């Protein structure tokens, strides 16, 4: 402001040409003439800073419409912009309501939104899912929503089924859902029916974790047995729709109402499993029963857990108990979940190496910085791959 007053004072002396005056103050002639015009129009007040906001906004939301949106939000505090806009359009279709993004910005500006902490999500399985063309090609595993039995004890139903034949392999009432509770059930199913090619699950524990590659202790065991773990995208249960439909039938037939104890609930699950596999016709099987379409796998459960095999040009390392590997005379952290397991590094060029665990490509190792380059999280599976085709 002081510089502007000095400029106007020298201009009023009328001894300075505009070109020389602007050159002395380091401004353009356009700005010089604009300052003079503002001074002549409003005096010293015209030299004050002005708002850069436009004087006219043709797309601005009218205040009356904003008030209606705010009032609707106050009536329905849990509704988001999409529901509010649809509800307002149905109530007053003659009004042109703002877009969803504009309503969201208005709610945020009025302090009517609560910012949520960003969740750390498990990366989905980015490769195409295996085709369910034969029994034991894909098994589906999940934990149905828990409930309490009549004595107040929590019950977590664990289900395991064959995707092709819909054969229910396991239906167990559990008291907890950790690795120690799930693995014995999987092992018993492997001993009875053999090994599948893949097991499809959601992204929750104990099937997955937020570690490298989304691997959990259970998934590591599956990979050691030659089973590909498949994870559906977060929020997309339809990718495992066959198993979700099984849960609906299980809920209707065996959990409503709950049994008196967990042991009694397990007897109800056993009865349901027998009826589902041997008596209940299935529409997807042309009204046949799942037991008539299922057959054991040709891959038996091994006596000992085999070690993973890698190509000859791979650099094989065993992960330490703290999750690190020795690489180029330095320690590189991989994952605590892979402690004690063999991983391989395959050369891509003179700098980057592909880190693999069995057939799974987990990350790229930079041999210069000794750091892992992990692929970005995808919300839904896409055809574009994060890595080149499998090399191990």
Residue 56 neighbours by CB under 8 Å, 6+ apart: none
pLDDT band at 381 (very low <50, low <70, confident <90, very high): very low
The gap from C-alpha 273 to its chain's centroid, in whole angstroms, comes to: 32
What is the b/e burial string over 127-163, where b = at least 16 CB atoms within 10 angstroms of the residue's CB? Answer: bebbebeebbbbbbbbbbeeeebeeeeebbbbbbbbb
CATH fold of 138-293: Nucleotidyltransferase; domain 5 (3.30.420)
Distance CA 237, CA 275 (A): 25
Name the H helices within the chain: 2-13, 18-25, 29-42, 63-75, 81-91, 100-109, 179-193, 217-224, 241-250, 262-278, 290-293
pLDDT above 50 for 218? yes
49 CB neighbour count, 10 Å cutoff:
7
327-354 pLDDT, tens digit each: 888 899 999 999 999 999 999 988 899 9
23-55 pLDDT, tens digit each: 988 999 999 899 889 888 888 888 888 788 787
Residue 328 CB-density burial (10 A; 0-12 exposed, 13-18 middle, 19+ buried): exposed
Residue 289's pLDDT is 85
Helix, strand, or coil (residue 317): strand
Distance CA 39, CA 7 (A): 11
Segment 362-386 shows an average pLDDT of 67
Question: Which of 292-297's residues contact partners 24+ apart within 8 Å by CB, and which partners?
Answer: 293/135, 293/164, 293/165, 293/166, 293/167, 294/135, 294/162, 294/165, 294/167, 295/135, 295/136, 296/136, 296/192, 296/193, 296/194, 297/135, 297/136, 297/193, 297/194, 297/195, 297/196
Lowest mean pLDDT among 34-38, 78-82, 303-307, 376-380: 376-380
Name which of 300, 390, 387 is nearest 123 in CA terms: 387
Residue 46's pLDDT is 85
Percentage of residues in the chain having pLDDT higher than 90: 52
Higher pLDDT, 113 or 297: 297
Report the mean per-residue pLDDT for the chain: 87
pLDDT band at 128 (very low <50, low <70, confident <90, very high): low
Distance CA 223, CA 358 (A): 7
pLDDT above 70 for 108? yes
pLDDT above 50 for 170? yes
Segment 7-15 shows an average pLDDT of 82
pLDDT band at 121 (very low <50, low <70, confident <90, very high): low
pLDDT above 60 for 126? no
Residue 383's pLDDT is 40
pLDDT band at 386 (very low <50, low <70, confident <90, very high): very low
pLDDT above 80 for 129? no
Distance CA 157, CA 144 (A): 5
Residue 251 neighbours by CB under 8 Å, 6+ apart: 144
Residue 119's pLDDT is 65
Residue 9's pLDDT is 86
Distance CA 227, CA 251 (A): 29
Lowest mean pLDDT among 70-74, 93-97, 124-128: 124-128
Higher pLDDT, 125 or 349: 349
Segment 248-276 shows an average pLDDT of 93
pLDDT band at 60 (very low <50, low <70, confident <90, very high): confident
User: Domain limits of the chain?
Assistant: 2-47, 66-109, 138-293, 307-392
- How far the first Cα of the chain sits from its last, in Å, is 70
Are the C-beta atoms of residues 166 and 284 closer than 8 Å to each other? Answer: yes
Residue 7 neighbours by CB under 8 Å, 6+ apart: 21, 25, 27, 32, 35
Are the C-beta atoms of residues 285 and 293 closer than 8 Å to each other? Answer: yes
Segment 160-181 shows an average pLDDT of 95
pLDDT above 90 for 182? yes
pLDDT above 50 for 358? yes
Percentage of residues in the chain having pLDDT higher than 70: 92
Distance CA 49, CA 124 (A): 53
77-106 pLDDT, tens digit each: 877 888 788 888 888 999 999 999 999 999
pLDDT above 70 for 204? yes
pTM: 0.66
**Phi, psi of 300, deg, nearest 5:** -75, 160
């Amino acid at each position: 402001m002081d510089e502007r007053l000095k400029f106007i004072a020298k201009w009023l002396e009328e001894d300075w040409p505009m070109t020389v005056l602007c050159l002395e103050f380091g401004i353009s002639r356009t700005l010089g003439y604009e300052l003079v015009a503002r001074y002549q129009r409003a005096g010293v007040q015209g030299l004050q800073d002005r708002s850069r906001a436009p004087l006219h906004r043709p797309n601005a939301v009218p205040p009356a419409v904003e008030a209606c949106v705010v009032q609707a939000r106050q009536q329905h505090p849990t509704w988001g912009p999409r529901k509010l806009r649809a509800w307002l359009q149905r109530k007053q279709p003659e009004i042109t309501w703002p877009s969803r993004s504009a309503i969201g910005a208005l709610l945020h500006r009025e302090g009517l939104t609560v910012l949520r902490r960003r969740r750390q999500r498990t990366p989905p399985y980015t490769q195409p899912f295996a085709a369910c063309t034969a029994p034991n090609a894909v098994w589906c595993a999940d934990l149905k929503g828990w409930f309490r039995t009549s004595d107040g004890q929590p019950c977590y139903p664990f289900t395991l089924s064959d995707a092709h034949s819909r054969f229910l392999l396991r239906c167990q009432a559990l008291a907890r859902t950790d690795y120690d509770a799930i693995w014995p059930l999987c092992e018993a199913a492997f001993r009875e029916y053999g090994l599948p090619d893949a097991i499809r699950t959601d992204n929750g524990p104990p099937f997955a974790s937020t570690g490298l590659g989304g691997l959990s202790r259970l998934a590591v065991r599956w990979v050691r047995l030659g089973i590909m773990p498949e994870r559906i995208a977060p929020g997309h249960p339809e990718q495992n729709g066959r198993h979700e439909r099984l849960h609906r039938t299980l809920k209707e037939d065996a959990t409503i109402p709950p049994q008196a104890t967990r042991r009694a609930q397990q007897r109800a699950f056993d009865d349901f499993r027998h009826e589902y596999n041997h008596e209940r016709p299935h529409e997807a099987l042309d009204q046949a029963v799942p037991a008539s379409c299922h057959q054991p796998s040709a891959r038996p459960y091994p006596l000992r857990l085999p070690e993973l095999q890698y190509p000859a040009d791979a650099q094989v390392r065993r992960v330490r108990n703290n999750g690190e590997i020795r690489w180029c005379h330095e320690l590189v952290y991989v994952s605590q979940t892979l402690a004690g397991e063999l991983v391989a590094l395959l050369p891509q060029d003179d700098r980057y190496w592909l880190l693999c665990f069995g057939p799974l490509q987990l990350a790229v190792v930079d041999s210069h910085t000794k750091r892992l380059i992990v692929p970005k999280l995808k919300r839904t599976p896409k055809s574009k791959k994060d890595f080149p085709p499998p090399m191990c």
